[in-house]
Amino acid sequence: MAYLDLKNVSKSFAGTLAVKDFNLEIEKGTLVAFLGPSGCGKTTTLRMIAGFEQLDSGTILLDNSDISSVPPNRRDIGMVFQSYALFPNLTVRENIAFGLEMKKTPKKDAEKRVNQVLDMVRLQETAKRFPHQLSGGQQQRIALARALAVQPRVLLLDEPLSALDAEVRVVLRGEIRRIQSELAITTVYVTHDQEEALSISDKVVVMNKGIIEQVGAPEEIYRAPQTRFVATFIGTANQFHGKVDGRESVDCGIVRLLTEPLKDFINGQSVVVLVRPENIQVQLEPPGEGRWNSIPGVVETITFHGAVTRLGVNAGGQRVVADITVSNTKPVALNQKIWLQFTPDMCQVMVADE
């Protein structure tokens, strides 16, 4: 049974549809990330859960009761904002105690609770300071502590790390995940950063133009994207356009690609074959026999990315990118002729958009 249940939720602003017929069940204690480009409706959906936006249609159930028309201050849902939104006139301690005070928690209990959450975010020493005396990362941790102090039923995070440096971002996302699992609090995390979404969530909801493209575990989203949008938005994917040619191959013009058995397609159907750059091997010699796809090409660009080096290859007029690591590939030079190889199970076949 889902703990947080969004049923047929829709919302438009001034005639523009922001969220369209959104259906999602979130299990208790899990962390779900809403991932998508800006304007995809992820923040709007989050704000509807928080109660800051009214639904045009649909319902939101929390623990089996309809909260769609409950005002935000009575939903018992904590929120962390991109801009931290700490109250500048209150100290760290007062900020955290604010929610408890609103709940009329006895002073002693409140004080104990404030200390607990300060320990949780490891910032006990900042209790007497004002928000502007803290770094961005510290402020966001205090904001998290403040949201958690009242023990909300659901925690919402709206791009919580987008305003921080890359280094702090990585540390803090680990912290968020640690605290979330410790408390087993149901959490919705909005981000446009795929790495962030994939690394910390139990489930990722990929959104585009107000609709859900795919829901799944991070690995599932990456390894088995169900739509072309997901395949290209998450990570990088080479796209080969062609037509189904037989049971296990696609004719792409420059090459006939071998694939896994194509059960759901008919012969001659227009399809796109997607291949991730890290699944392509680069060979300097023409390949031998075997069930491999092999495309000859010329190296046009070499970009060093640290762990991998990305090659831009011209394969019969089509640009293909392939990632190589120093350890598994011999040095490659610009304008060198090479062979790109990948096995049929690395090919993901999708219906081409009209």
Partner 1 sequence: MDPLSTPKNETKKKLRPASWQVALVAIFLFYMLLPIISTYVFSVATRWDRTILPEGYTLEFYAKAIQASYFTITLRNSFILSISTVLVSLLIIVPTVYWVHTRLGRAKPLLDILMILPFGIPTVVLALALIQVYHFPPLARSPVLLIGAVVVYSMPFMYRPVSNALQALDVQTLTEAGQSLGANIFQVLYRIVIPNIVTGLLSGSLLVFSTVFAEYTLTSLIVGARFKTFPLLLVEFTRINGNIAAAFSVISFTIAWLVSMLILWVGSKGQKATTEGIRAH
Between 95 and 238, CB nearer to partner 1 = 95
Stretch that binds partner 1, among 69-77, 119-127, 249-257, 342-350 (CB under 8 A): 69-77
Taking Cα atoms as reference points, which of 39, 34, 30 lies closest to residue 49?
A: 34
Strands of 161-202, DSSP E:
186-191
Instruction: Please give the order of strands across the beta sheet that includes 4-13.
Output: 16-26, 4-13, 57-62, 65-66
Residue 314 in tokens: 């011209």
- Return left, alpha or beta for 184; rule: phi > 0 is left, psi -120 to 50 is alpha, else beta: left
Whole-Å CA distances, 77 to 50, 99, 123, 156, 187: 6, 11, 23, 7, 10
CA distance linking residue 161 with residue 182, whole number of Å? 20
- Give the shortest CB-353-to-partner 1 separation in angstroms: 37
Taking Cα atoms as reference points, which of 35, 46, 30 lies closest to residue 177?
A: 30
Helix (H) or strand (E) segment spanning residue 271: strand 270-275
83 binds partner 1 (CB under 8 A): yes
Stretch that binds partner 1, among 145-153, 191-199, 293-301, 325-333 (CB under 8 A): 145-153
**With CB under 8 A, what is the number of residues at the site for partner 1?**
32
13 binds partner 1 (CB under 8 A): no
Among residues 23, 27, 37, 102, which is the contact residue for partner 1, using CB under 8 A? 102
Q: Can you spell out the DSSP letters for 95-143?
A: HHHHHHHHTT--HHHHHHHHHHHHHHTT-GGGTTS-GGGS-HHHHHHHH
User: For partner 1, what does the binding mask look like between residues 179 and 198, x meaning CB under 8 A?
Assistant: --------------------
CA distance linking residue 240 with residue 251, whole number of Å? 9
Between 92 and 200, CB nearer to partner 1 = 92
Asked whether 342 and 275 are in contact (CB, 8 A), the reply is yes
- Give the shortest CB-171-to-partner 1 separation in angstroms: 23
132 binds partner 1 (CB under 8 A): yes
153 binds partner 1 (CB under 8 A): no
Between 3 and 98, CB nearer to partner 1 = 98
- Give the shortest CB-130-to-partner 1 separation in angstroms: 5
CA distance linking residue 19 with residue 207, whole number of Å? 9
Asked whether 154 and 188 are in contact (CB, 8 A), the reply is yes
Among residues 1, 16, 64, 74, which is the contact residue for partner 1, using CB under 8 A? 74
227 binds partner 1 (CB under 8 A): no
256 binds partner 1 (CB under 8 A): no
- Give the shortest CB-86-to-partner 1 separation in angstroms: 8
- Give the shortest CB-194-to-partner 1 separation in angstroms: 25
Total length of the chain:
354
Between 52 and 222, CB nearer to partner 1 = 52
Between 49 and 221, CB nearer to partner 1 = 49
- The 3-class SS string of 275-335 reads ECHHHCEEECCCCCCCCCEEEEEEEEEEEECCCCEEEEEEECCEEEEEEECCCCCCCCCCC
89 binds partner 1 (CB under 8 A): yes
Among residues 13, 23, 87, 116, which is the contact residue for partner 1, using CB under 8 A? 87
Give, as ranges, the residues between 20 and 59 that touch partner 1 (CB under 8 A): 50-52
Asked whether 204 and 215 are in contact (CB, 8 A), the reply is yes
Between 156 and 230, CB nearer to partner 1 = 156
130 binds partner 1 (CB under 8 A): yes
Between 74 and 305, CB nearer to partner 1 = 74
Task: Report the interface residues with partner 1, using CB under 8 A.
Answer: 50-52, 71-79, 81, 83, 85-89, 98-99, 102-103, 130-133, 143, 146-147, 150, 156
